[in-house]
Amino acid sequence: MTAPPAGLDIVRRANARRWRLTVDPTSGAVRLTLPHRAALAPALAWAAGQQEWIAAQRARLPSPRPFEPGAVLMVDDVRLVIAWQADWPRRVEAVAGELRCGGPAERLPGRVARWLRAQALDRLSAETGDFARRLGVSIAGVAVGDPRGRWGSCTSTGVIRYSWRLILAPGWVRRATVAHEVAHRVHMHHGPDFHALVAELVGADADRSRAWLRREGAGLHWFGRES
């Protein structure tokens, strides 16, 4: 019998009615979803027979975009080319269209990633504050992380968290995402009043940004991934 796909994630869900195989567009991971009481062995055998389908899905995924010399990043709508020389300062700096960094070559990816996170936190914090002032609401805190399933979240206590990868998206997409989360300080739901408020803040970008993230967002998760 053909072996199941390597690294297969198995998930059981109460509301699942049948076996379901998916390929995560942000990572390429394969997931087999099963009803709670479904037998595992026949489901694994079925998944093992889907290798061709899995390969086809993975072939459609974005290519890894490692943080290496010559890589091009769009950061807050500015095109930057990663540049490295061992004798340069180790502190990452944006200079004349380059993102420059020195020191050991193996440390470059981590330093670029930390710089991008810092840039994201600064920009997202500022934009969150701007929208909060427009709506007259308070924000308890702003943080960035690297979630796979969402671009932002807002708690009932006023803490807003974003994906740091929004700094790599077009500015209008990022700002519309910020407006979406700040609007939750007024409406903690996705009803008509909520969507009307977001549209009041960013106009047609509210819908356009959601469409862009559905279409292009998975590609942002491949930045910093090794080939």
**Closest alpha carbon to 183 in 202, 210, 205, 164:** 202
How many Å apart are CA 132 and CA 142, to the nearest integer?
A: 12
- Residue 154 pLDDT: 98
pLDDT digits (tens, 9 = 90+) for 154-164: 999 999 999 99
pLDDT digits (tens, 9 = 90+) for 29-61: 999 999 998 999 999 999 999 999 999 999 999
pLDDT digits (tens, 9 = 90+) for 79-138: 999 999 999 999 999 999 999 999 999 999 999 999 999 999 999 999 999 999 999 999
Mean local confidence (pLDDT), 163-172 = 98
**Closest alpha carbon to 190 in 7, 165, 12, 199:** 199
Tell whether the model's pLDDT for residue 4 goes beyond 70: no
